[in-house]
Amino acid sequence: EVQLVESGGGLVQPGGSLRLSCAASGFSFMSYSMNWVRQAPGKGLEWVSYISSSGDTIYYADSVKGRFTISRDNAKNSLSLQMNSLTDEDTAMYYCARLVNTTLTSDYWGQGTLVTVSS
Amino acid sequence: EIVMTQSPATLSVSPGERATLSCRASQSVGSNLAWYQQKPGQAPRLLISGASTRATGIPTRFTGSGSGTEFTLTISSLQSEDFAVYYCHQYHKWPRTFGQGTKLEIK
């Protein structure tokens, strides 16, 4: 069974940092590209970042470029998102999602980890 | 950035009836369009990719259509479990973008 479990969310002050993790199991993690997608409370979905299966291709939304860093450890079946210089606009549920190789749509999602940026 | 616009924002339909949700892209996305369903407190679930291909396990009452800039998700004979928020999503260009969602509620 495919499982994606996010962790690392919590309350952080504006300007602070947080590192999110996503533990993958039930599939060959090294064979799949991954996304981070976020959802502010009561709002819609916003794509945040993409990383290819090998980690050599990475994209970011303009809203996080220069502040967030996506990475993966295929040996540990783990995806990460390092978030720096956080603002209240980064408050959201953060989901990791597996991408279908042929279409790059997200077929499996974790349950999310909540990040709250507040003083 | 490709802007995805969904209509209506809220759709009230009775169980057993048909629901039609629309999604428009600000430029052509070809057939690189997906639909997701999200229920309160849950992660999104992939329904449709390639504008019209149902994901594994998705009932046949869900039908996607369209190409280019105009897309439709039709749900025939609504079941109680279908009342949720639906998002369209383009994966044609970076950055990936989502529509703002259509809330399908019970009439």
3-state secondary structure A53-111: CCCCCEEECCCCCCCEEEEEECCCCEEEEEECCCCHHHCEEEEEEEECCCCCCEEEECC
A19-73 residue pLDDT tens: 999 999 999 999 999 999 999 999 999 999 999 999 999 999 999 999 999 999 9
Pairs of residues, one from chain A and one from chain B, whose beta carbons lie less than 8 Å apart? 54
Mutate to test the interface with B, among A3, A6, A36, A45 (most CBs of B within 10 A): A45
In a 13 Å sphere around the CA of A2, the CA atoms on its Cβ side amount to 15
Please identify which residue in the block is written with the tokens 């210089």. A85
Return the pLDDT at A101.
83
Chain A stretch 42-61, residues whose beta carbon is closer than 8 A to a beta carbon of chain B: 44-47, 50, 59-61
Query: B55 to chain A: nearest residue by CA?
Result: A107
Return the pLDDT at A86.
98
CA distance B58 to B63: 10
Query: B94 to chain A: nearest residue by CA?
Result: A59
Minimal Cβ distance to A45: which of B42, B50, B98: B98
Q: Does A2 lie at the interface with B, CB-CB under 8 angstroms?
A: no
Minimal Cβ distance to A107: which of B46, B91, B94: B46
**Structure tokens of B79?**
């079941």
Return the pLDDT at A104.
84
Q: How far is B23 from chain A (nearest CA, A)?
A: 14
H-state helical runs in chain B: none
Minimal Cβ distance to B98: which of A46, A62, A110: A46
Section B6-33 average pLDDT: 97
Q: What is the band of B91 on the pLDDT scale with cuts at 50, 70, 90?
A: very high
Q: How far is B44 from chain A (nearest CA, A)?
A: 7
Q: Give the residue among A33, A92, A24, A41 at the shortest CA–CA distance from A64.
A: A92
With beta carbons less than 8 A apart as the criterion, state whether B3 and B41 touch: no
What integer best gives the mean pLDDT of chain A? Answer: 96
Say if the Cβ atoms of B43 and A109 lie within 8 Å.
yes
A1: enclosing H helix or E strand:
none
Return the pLDDT at A47.
97
Chain B residues close to A95, C-beta within 8 Å:
43-44
What integer best gives the mean pLDDT of chain B? Answer: 96
β-bridge partners, A114: A93
